Structure 1
Amino acid sequence: MRLCILFFLAMLVSVAAQAGTRVEGARLWPAPDHTRLVLDTAGLVEHNVFSLSSPPRLVIDLKNTALQTDFGAVDLTGSPIRSIRSAPRNGSDLRVVLDLASDIKPRSFVLEPNQQYGHRLVIDLIDEEGSRLERATSPTVTQDSAGKRDIIVVIDAGHGGEDPGAIGPKGTREKDVVLRMAKRLADLINSKPGFTAKLTRTGDYYVGLRNRTLLARKYNADLFVSVHADAFRTPQPRGASVFALSQRGATSETARWLAQSENRSDLIGGAGGVSLDGRDDMLAGVLLDLSMTASINASLGVGGSILGRLGKVAKLHKSGVEQAAFVVLKSPDIPSILVEAGFISNPTEEKNLASEWYRDKLAKAIMEGIESYFEQTPPPGTLLAWQKNQGRGGHDVSHYRIQRGDTLSAVARENRTTVGELMRFNGMNDDRVMVGQTIRIPSS
């Protein structure tokens, strides 16, 4: 009898081992630079991914896995996948084949369960040529006939795709709320003369954190604004917040830039800025520190302007601009802020954030803060800089890039003005200038 029981238990273990896990669903998230295929699995899955060519295919082998979903129901629109096929393999394994329109670079990983989904196998199909991304991110410098360009504001809607962000008590997802708010803010910015807005994502897909700042650089951004909704383990906390980069985050980012050789050819200080290529570590570090300090100071300035406007239409979580080491704030030459629109974990604020009228109110406050800041400190060469100069009684403005050996007094003499006037006109606290720095010079 005992032997029979042991045999029966062994059979159960064998059947369970053969059953393994299951693929219970599939979702596709097309983005400009990659497509993400997500397979919902009943548990952890061991897998292997490899590419084939002529014709291009991607093979996904899942060990000890059965199929319990219909790949034919997956919408492949906007993706490089032409069809998805599957078949059992080696008795208990599953092979999934993606027929592709072109060669791609695959990347795969598993995800643990979160608030919305269970175990998942994620396969990213990366566009190696970047053609779709390039079409989406052609550099933007909108100018009028007189060469007075727009101020470029890049708006980043947090999370997206498989990453829902925080989820409210009634199921409101952060990724949906912030995308709608980002689009509304972009509309408001684009309606203002002298401003152009760009979005890091325009749909429900995920963009990597580093790629968000990369997009801002591709757009030649003057300001980067990342929009999020906060959450806490209890429903009580509420209120909007504004964050800039902390000094700790700046220090770690400076070290990362210096350590990665591909950053050396990048410019700091935007168009016409300073390249780190060919410079020794000490000089490159000094240049980065100067640029990062200026970027943080500008971020705090525009963040304070936005926070002041938000405080008039919504409750604030903190009265001042907070600082943290968020990855999306770590551009060394682009002022960057993160706006937490409220606590989606708070039932009242969840209801507000889900409503169009409240998101519109917040977006208008953010726009007013941005506009007010740039009216006071417009970037050189912009329409707002020209308008500010006209308001001072000036007739025009020119720009000069500091060369090696230049001093502010020499530039003043050459342009028949004074050091004090140049300092006032450029908002400078002292007469020190840096090679590569561009200063504005009144021509009257």
Structure 2
Amino acid sequence: MKKNNKILNVLLAVCCLGVMQPLLAANQVQGIRIWPSPDNTRVVFDLKEAADHNSFSLDKPDRLVIDLNNTSGGSELPNINGESDLIKAIRSSGDKNSMRIVLDLLKSTKANVFTLPPTAPYGHRLVIDLPNDVTEQPLPPPSIRAARDIIIAIDAGHGGEDPGSIGPSGYYEKHITLPLAKRLMDLINQQQGMKAMLVRTNDYYIHVNRRTEIARGQQADLLISIHADAFTSPQPRGASVWVLSLRRATTEVGRMLEQTERHSELLGGVAEIIKDSANERYLAQTVLDLSMNHSMTTAHQVAQQVLQELDKVAYLHKSKPQAASLGVLKAPDIPSILVEVGFISNPQEEKLLRTSSHQNKLAKAMFTAVKRYFEQSPPADSLFAQNRARQHKVNPGESLSVLAQRYNVSIADLRQHNQLSSDSIRVGQVLRIP
């Protein structure tokens, strides 16, 4: 009997070891994705469970080493999706209980390694951000430039590891915002006196703070952030335009939008530290307040123009500019608006937003609105302002020959520039001076 008990105890011990062994190495690398951008490369390891990790850098040659505890692995890695000029190779080694991953780098960089919890469509992730220092070529100061173009920064919402909202068919918001941003850019760049730049040029993630920094680096006169809305039910539909509120949003959709942006910041990684100086604190605060007030006023006026044009091509969810405290709108020196082009959570609107014809209409509406605003209120040093200044409202007793002599141009040029079929003009008529 005692012999049987010994055998039973041995069998129980073996069974316990068989159960415990998988627990010792519960985690597993299931996928690797590389998201390159102009100034950063993000590497994402999709994991079965939350990562227990340590990391350190080595030089000669440059490497980043990541040790994953409680993770089974060896020299075989899942297929790697994407590539980057910063990364020469990714390799691994290990056993049933631990795994070491080595990123062979082409140059030294200060890596930022952190974990992210499951967020649809992704599970647990280990994220490595590798900054790629790029020297930006700043625009020359306005004082030494000729009449300049009006710069419009277009921010395609979300991107890369942050897909944004997901429609009923599984379509990502990020796949709507970038094509639409490119269509708007093309229209703006065809207009003399205007120039557009994309904050995000491809499918990669940019932190909210960095988006405004990129716009500021290009001395943008306006920032347009393009998004597609979503709600907990499929019924809501329509476009809306958002501006900054220094108070909390007053609508449920606005509160959800604020929460979504905070979520996107977490999804994208660690927030950047904004440095401040105590020198001239009160003067700086006064200047910032004045700048912020001007930016918010301008943004509200642009938003009204955009809604007016969107109403011609789309259903409006809200007919007036909506206010929320959103990071992408908070640049004190850049008027900023966020355009929700429709609800991706609405099945019919999701289908519509994916079509080229509707995206063209939306882009044309935004372009028409922005152009009209800056024609009415151009920056003083812009070509738009110069063209506006070269206008003349006809007064009683004035003729085409009198105006030609006054502005030192020919009658023929005046006639051609204003598409006049004769020398006849009327009081109150506005003529453009060549």
| TM exceeding 0.5 | yes
Deviations 1:260-287 (A, max 9, x none): 88455xxxxxxxxxxxx841x3322222
1:169-188 to 2 correspondences below 5 Å? 169-188=168-187
- Equivalent position of 2:259 in the other structure: none
Native 8 Å contact 1:23 1:68 kept in 2: no
SS of 1:66 mapped into structure 2: coil
- Equivalent position of 1:96 in the other structure: 101
Native 8 Å contact 1:60 1:97 kept in 2: yes
- Equivalent position of 2:285 in the other structure: 285
Q: CA deviation at 1:20?
A: 1.7
- Equivalent position of 1:41 in the other structure: 47
- Equivalent position of 1:331 in the other structure: 331
Native 8 Å contact 2:73 2:98 kept in 1: no
Aligned match for 2:126, one of 108, 121, 126: 121
Q: Which amino acid aligns with 1:63?
A: N
Deviations 1:129-185 (A, max 9, x none): x22xx3xx5334699x98110000000001111111001011111011100000111
Native 8 Å contact 1:239 1:315 kept in 2: yes
The whole-number CA distance in structure 2 between the counterparts of 1:111 and 1:69 is 25
Native 8 Å contact 1:58 1:100 kept in 2: yes
Native 8 Å contact 1:142 1:149 kept in 2: no
Q: Which amino acid aligns with 2:159?
A: G
SS of 1:303 mapped into structure 2: helix
Native 8 Å contact 2:74 2:94 kept in 1: no
Structure 2 gaps, min length 5: 250-272, 395-434
- Equivalent position of 1:361 in the other structure: 361
Q: Which amino acid aligns with 2:375?
A: E
1:154-165 to 2 correspondences below 5 Å? 154-165=153-164
Q: Which amino acid aligns with 2:20?
A: S
Deviations 1:333-373 (A, max 9, x none): 11000000100000011001111111111010000110011
In structure 2, relative to structure 1, the CA distance for the partners of 1:179 and 1:340 (3 Å cut) is: same
Question: RMSD of aligned C-alpha atoms?
Answer: 2.4
CA radius of gyration, larger in: 2
Native 8 Å contact 1:25 1:68 kept in 2: no
1:215 and 2:220 correspond: no
Native 8 Å contact 2:75 2:93 kept in 1: no
1:226-245 to 2 correspondences below 5 Å? 226-245=225-244
Deviations 1:231-258 (A, max 9, x none): 11110000001011102379xxxxxxxx
SS of 2:120 mapped into structure 1: coil
Q: CA deviation at 1:205?
A: 0.4
The whole-number CA distance in structure 1 between the counterparts of 2:324 and 2:178 is 22
1:83 and 2:82 correspond: no
In structure 2, relative to structure 1, the CA distance for the partners of 1:138 and 1:393 (3 Å cut) is: farther
Native 8 Å contact 1:223 1:334 kept in 2: yes
Aligned match for 2:26, one of 20, 39, 50: 20
Aligned match for 1:106, one of 90, 94, 111: 111
1:348 and 2:348 correspond: yes
- Equivalent position of 1:309 in the other structure: 309
Identity, in percent, stands at 46
In structure 2, relative to structure 1, the CA distance for the partners of 1:102 and 1:363 (3 Å cut) is: same
**Mean Cα deviation higher: 153-162 or 384-393:** 384-393
In structure 2, relative to structure 1, the CA distance for the partners of 1:179 and 1:142 (3 Å cut) is: farther
- Using the size of structure 2 for normalisation, the TM-score is 0.79
The whole-number CA distance in structure 2 between the counterparts of 1:351 and 1:100 is 42
In structure 2, relative to structure 1, the CA distance for the partners of 1:262 and 1:119 (3 Å cut) is: closer
SS of 1:65 mapped into structure 2: coil
Q: Which amino acid aligns with 1:61?
A: D
Q: CA deviation at 1:187?
A: 0.5
Deviations 1:284-322 (A, max 9, x none): 222211111111000001111111100111011111001
Q: CA deviation at 1:17?
A: 2.0
1:127-142 to 2 correspondences below 5 Å? 127=132, 130-131=133-134, 134=135, 137-140=136-139
The whole-number CA distance in structure 1 between the counterparts of 2:87 and 2:98 is 23
Q: Which amino acid aligns with 2:221?
A: D
- Using the size of structure 1 for normalisation, the TM-score is 0.77
The whole-number CA distance in structure 1 between the counterparts of 2:141 and 2:314 is 33
Native 8 Å contact 1:379 1:385 kept in 2: yes
- Equivalent position of 1:197 in the other structure: 196
- Equivalent position of 1:147 in the other structure: 146
The whole-number CA distance in structure 2 between the counterparts of 1:141 and 1:363 is 29
Native 8 Å contact 1:157 1:200 kept in 2: yes
In structure 2, relative to structure 1, the CA distance for the partners of 1:93 and 1:11 (3 Å cut) is: same
In structure 2, relative to structure 1, the CA distance for the partners of 1:207 and 1:261 (3 Å cut) is: closer
The whole-number CA distance in structure 2 between the counterparts of 1:261 and 1:170 is 39
Q: Which amino acid aligns with 2:115?
A: V
Q: CA deviation at 1:5?
A: 7.8
The whole-number CA distance in structure 1 between the counterparts of 2:377 and 2:303 is 13
Aligned residues: 364
Native 8 Å contact 2:222 2:334 kept in 1: yes
Native 8 Å contact 2:35 2:83 kept in 1: no
Q: CA deviation at 1:70?
A: 5.5
